[in-house]
């Protein structure tokens, strides 16, 4: 279909579903167990209501903000998601190209299907990226990747440490569709062209499981506050973002660590991994509400980003009103790629960005900094 006939993210997902391989669809679509968290991620937004104010001049509205001190034109960012080339040869570089006109940040997966150098090679001036790390049991491998990322300071502005997947999860759609024979993880291939074709150190062994389990091979399960953060701070000078925080207790610990160790943790991402790790883990919105209730000072100490279940501009605005500084989309970017390569990603961002602006104007908010709890009614999600 022509991309401009696709009017919302569901239609883009439907178009991509028709175009990508069965295996690709199963890997992207899948989530843990019964997909309850995946479903709830989006439902949670449906159950939060907006409180629009009238008689405000909204001829213009501005969605720009700062993330870790860097100016971005939109609070919307791309969450790290593995294997973009399963959907389209444009891959992660295509995602970068698709979002370039929106001035958004892109987080690059540890299991990307292109190297971190290739992904940023044609990046627009000022486009910022982060690199996501799954700490490997062989720490030397992780250290080598961190050293590579450090060589591209104009592009990579943070290291995102994912914590919500210490063991592989049970994703039945993915398992049923089997493994991908030609696994496209290229992220840790050597950067230099002359080394092309050398053995990919990140190639995982075959097994009777899905792509998720195939990718998991080599990931460490022994991470702790005490040991991992000092190790990481020794091997990167970039701001650290902890991804997969799911309780106010852990958000509080992250903020406390940040206060005690300046220059380490600068943000947390409230996420249940798009429902892909632990089924019935809470959607980010619930964790945001917990933090507001029990330890609101976290919002003043570190940036709080969220992801999971975003399908409408109103979802993004609601998260911002509840204290999030940025909002990520995982599958939406991949489905965009599947629907039409980099242009499909561009269309996805065009739709979402348009919806964010419409929502802000309808509510009488001209600026991201104006968004706050006064625009939100949470009665349906906080019944106690
Ligand atoms: C992911 N996600 C993910 N997260 C991460 O930290 N490292 C990774 O390699 C991946 N890989 C990955 C692959 C696929 C196919 C999906 C769908 C997701 C999780 C991702 O960053 C994010 O948390 C969720 O995708 C957000 O939920 P939505 O937007 O997909 O609903």
- What DSSP assignment string belongs to 77-144? EEPP-S-GGGT-TTHHHHHHHHHGGGT-EEEEPTT-SS-HHHHHTTPPTT--EEEEE--BSSHHHHHH
Cα–Cα distance measured from residue 68 to residue 79, given in angstroms and rounded to the nearest whole number? 16
**Higher local confidence (pLDDT), 81 or 186:** 81
Residue 277 CA to ligand 1 centre (angstroms):
10
pLDDT at 183: 66
Catalytic residue from among 88, 235, 273, 286 = 273
Q: Which residues contact 202 (CB under 8 A, 6 or more apart)?
A: 111, 185, 186, 187, 188, 189, 218
Ligand 1 atom closest to the Cα of residue 273 is: 23
Residue 288 in contact with residue 322, Cβ under 8 Å?
yes
Closest Cα to residue 159, out of 82, 263, 61? 263
Q: What is the largest CA-CA distance in the chain?
A: 64
Q: What is the mean pLDDT of residues 91-109?
A: 98
What radius of gyration, in Å, describes the C-alpha atoms of the chain?
A: 20
- Determine which residue's CA is closest to atom 2 belonging to ligand 1: 81
Q: Please tell me the chain's helix, strand, coil percentages from 3-state DSSP, rounded to the nearest 5.
A: 45, 15, 40
pLDDT tens for 197-226 read: 444 444 444 455 788 888 888 899 999 999
pTM: 0.95
Residue 286 CA to ligand 1 centre (angstroms):
19
Q: What percent of the chain has pLDDT over 90?
A: 86
Q: What is the mean pLDDT of residues 257-267?
A: 97
Q: What is the mean pLDDT of residues 174-194?
A: 73
Q: What is the mean pLDDT of residues 104-109?
A: 98
Ligand 1 atom closest to the Cα of residue 162 is: 6
Q: What is the mean pLDDT of residues 282-295?
A: 97
Is 273 part of the annotated catalytic residue set? yes
Residue 384 binned pLDDT confidence (cut-offs 50, 70, 90): low
Query: C-alpha distances in angstroms, 35 versus 30, 163, 265, 275?
Result: 8, 20, 31, 7
Is 134 part of the annotated catalytic residue set? yes
Ligand 1 atom closest to the Cα of residue 275 is: 27
Which phi and psi (to 5°) does residue 368 adopt?
Answer: -60, -35
């Amino acid at each position: 279909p022509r991309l401009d006939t696709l009017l919302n993210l569901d239609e883009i997902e439907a178009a991509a579903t028709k175009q990508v391989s069965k295996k690709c669809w199963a890997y992207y679509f899948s989530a843990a167990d019964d997909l309850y968290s995946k479903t709830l991620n989006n439902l949670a937004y449906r159950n939060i209501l907006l409180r629009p104010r009238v008689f405000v001049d909204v001829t213009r509205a501005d969605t720009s903000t700062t993330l870790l001190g860097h100016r971005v034109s939109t609070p919307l960012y791309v969450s790290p998601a593995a294997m973009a080339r399963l959907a389209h040869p444009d891959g992660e570089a295509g995602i970068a190209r698709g979002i370039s006109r929106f001035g958004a940040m892109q987080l690059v997966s540890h299991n990307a299907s292109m190297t971190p150098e290739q992904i940023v090679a044609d990046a627009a001036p000022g486009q910022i990226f982060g690199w996501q790390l799954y700490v490997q049991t062989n720490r030397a491998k992780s250290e080598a990747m961190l050293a590579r990322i450090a060589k591209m300071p104009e592009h990579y502005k943070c290291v995102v440490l994912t914590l919500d997947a210490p063991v592989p999860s049970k994703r039945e759609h993915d398992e049923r569709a089997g493994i991908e024979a030609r696994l496209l993880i290229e992220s840790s291939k050597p950067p230099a062209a002359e080394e092309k074709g050398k053995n990919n150190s990140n190639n995982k062994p075959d097994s009777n499981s899905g792509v998720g389990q195939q990718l998991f091979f080599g990931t460490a399960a022994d991470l702790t506050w005490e040991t991992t953060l000092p190790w990481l701070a020794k091997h990167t000078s970039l701001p650290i973002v902890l991804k997969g925080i799911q309780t106010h207790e852990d958000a509080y610990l992250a903020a406390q660590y940040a206060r005690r160790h300046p220059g380490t943790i600068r943000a947390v991402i409230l996420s249940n991994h798009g429902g892909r790790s632990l089924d019935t883990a809470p959607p980010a919105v619930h964790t945001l509400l917990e933090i507001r209730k029990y330890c609101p000072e976290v919002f003043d100490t570190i940036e709080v980003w969220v992801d999971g279940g975003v399908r409408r501009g109103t979802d993004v605005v609601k998260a911002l009103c509840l204290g999030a500084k940025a909002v990520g989309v995982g599958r939406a970017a991949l489905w965009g790629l599947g629907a039409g390569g980099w242009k499909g990603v561009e269309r996805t961002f065009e739709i979402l960005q348009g919806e964010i602006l419409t929502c802000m104007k309808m509510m009488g908010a001209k600026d991201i900094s104006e968004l706050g709890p006064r625009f939100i009614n949470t009665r349906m999600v906080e019944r106690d």
